[in-house]
Amino acid sequence: MSGLNDSPLIDVRLAAIHYAAHDINIYEFSRLDDLKLPAAQAGAHVDLHLPNGLVRQYSIFVPDRSPTRYALAIKREAISRGGSHYIFDELKVGTLLRISEPINRFRLNDSAAHSILIAGGIGITPIWAMTQELRTNNRSWELHYACRSRPDMAFHDPLKRLANVRLYFGNDETGAALDLESIVSHAPKHAHLYCCGPARMLDSFEDVTSHWPSDQVHLERFAAKEKASLEGGFVVELARSGGELIIPPNKSILTVLRDAGVDVPYSCEDGVCGACETSVISGVPDHRDSVLSNAEREANKSMMICCSGCRDGRLILDL
DSSP code for 286: E
- Rounded CA separation 223/268 (Å): 9
Contacts of 121 (CB under 8 A, 6+ apart): 75, 146, 147, 148, 152, 197, 198
Q: What is the mean pLDDT of the chain?
A: 91
Instruction: Look at residue 176 in the predicted model and tell me its pLDDT.
Output: 62
Choose the weakest-confidence range: 68-72, 173-177, 214-218.
173-177
Angle at 73 between CA 70 and CA 78, to 5 degrees: 145
Q: What is the mean pLDDT of residues 161-184?
A: 83
Q: What distances in angstroms separate CA 135 from CA 69, 142, 197, 212, 275, one per listed residue?
A: 20, 11, 22, 25, 30
Instruction: Look at residue 275 in the predicted model and tell me its pLDDT.
Output: 82
Judged against a pLDDT cut of 90, whether residue 105 lies above it is answered with: no
Instruction: Look at residue 171 in the predicted model and tell me its pLDDT.
Output: 60
Q: Mind listing the domains of the chain with CATH numbers?
A: 9-100 (2.40.30.10), 115-220 (3.40.50.80), 234-317 (3.10.20.30)
Q: Determine the distance from the C-alpha atom of residue 113 to the mean position of all C-alpha atoms in its chain, rounded to a whole number.
A: 24
Q: What is the mean pLDDT of residues 305-319?
A: 95
79-113 burial, b at 16+ Cβ within 10 Å, e below that, comes to eeeebbebbbeebeeebebbbbbbbbbbebeeebe
Q: pLDDT tens-digit profile of 184-213?
A: 999 999 999 999 999 899 999 999 999 999
DSSP code for 101: P
